Amino acid sequence: MKIALVGYGKMGHMLESTALSLGDEVVATIDVFAPDASVKVSAGDGAAVARAVKESGAEGVIEFTHPSSVMENIRALVPLGLPLVVGTTGWTDCEKEVAELAAKTGGTVMHSANFSIGVNLFYKIVEEASRLVSNFDEYDSAVWEMHHNQKADSPSGTALDIARRVMAGNPRKTSMVTDAFHSRPSPEQLHVSSTRCGHVPGTHTVFFDSAADTIELTHTARSRQGFASGAVHALENLKRMLDSGELSSGALYSMSDVFPGMF
C-alpha cells in the first residue's frame, strides 16, 4: 500500500519504519519542521498538505501532528477521498463536524485516541471491572495518567477514553472532572488526573478504592511502537474493508469498526 505520512516527528519516523517492515511503501513524509521530511509545508497550510498527498500518489494517509493543526489537516485531506487515519488527539469536540464533512465529500476517516492493541484490550478490561465493582457501593473510582513532557494535551485522549469506560460500567459515576479539586468531590464525580514528566511513552491507571483495599489496573507502554503498528494495521484494514464493501466511504470510523469482533 502506498502511504503518505502527515507529521514526521518521532512518531512519523516510527510509522515509516513500521510501514516499511510490513511491506508498505511510504510515498510522502510531510511536516512543518522536520528537516528530513520529503515535503515541507507552512504551519496551518492545509491546502499544501492536501496537494502534497495528492501529488504523491498515496492510497491512504496517516495523520500524526499536533492538536493545533489537526483540524486544518482533516478539513483539507478528507475531500481527497483517500482513507485517512488520524492519530492526533485533542479534537473530540469536532467529531460531529468531521463526520458531516466525510458524508458531504465522500471521504473516510478513522480515528482513535490510542492505536495500541494493548490499550484497546485494556479499555474492555476496565469497563468490565467497573461493571463488577459498581455492585459494591463502598468502592470509589479514579483515573490517573502520565506522559512525556512534550505531550501537548492534558488529559490525554486515552485517559478520557478510559474514563468513559469506567463511567459506562458504573452508572453511579455521571460526571468527569479533569481539573484540580478545590472542595470535597461528590460521589458521582470521576477524577481524571494527569502528570507530564520526562520521556514516559504513556502509563494509565484505574483505581477502585475502598476502606478495606485498593484494586489497581495499569497499562504501561514501553515505547511508541505499539501505537505505530496499530495505526498502520488500522489503515491497511480500513482500505481493505472499503475495497471489499465491508465499510462504506463517507463516514467516521473507530477501532471497533476496522478490527471487528476484537474491540
Where in the sequence numbering do the catalytic residues fall? 147, 151
195 marked as binding residue: no
112 marked as binding residue: yes
263 marked as binding residue: no
One DSSP character per residue, the chain reads -EEEEE--SHHHHHHHHHHHHTT-EEEEEEESS-TT-SEE--TT-HHHHHHHHHHHT-SEEEE---TTTHHHHHHHHGGG-SEEEE---S-GGGHHHHHHHHHHHT-EEEE-S---HHHHHHHHHHHHHHHHHTT-TT-EEEEEEEE-TT--SSS-HHHHHHHHHHHHH-TT--EEE-SPPSSPPPTTEEEEEEEE-TT---EEEEEEE-SS-EEEEEEE-SSTHHHHHHHHHHHHHHHHHHHHTSS-SSSEE-HHHHSTTT-
60 marked as binding residue: no
7 marked as binding residue: no
Task: Residue 162: name the closest of 184, 194, 136 by CA.
Answer: 194
103 marked as binding residue: no
Whole-number Å distance between alpha carbons of 192 and 177:
6
158 marked as binding residue: yes
193 marked as binding residue: no
248 marked as binding residue: no
169 marked as binding residue: no
- Please report, in range form, the residues annotated as the binding site: 87-89, 112-115, 148, 157-158
Binding positions for NAD(+) are 87-89, 112-115
Annotated binding site for (S)-2,3,4,5-tetrahydrodipicolinate: 148, 157-158
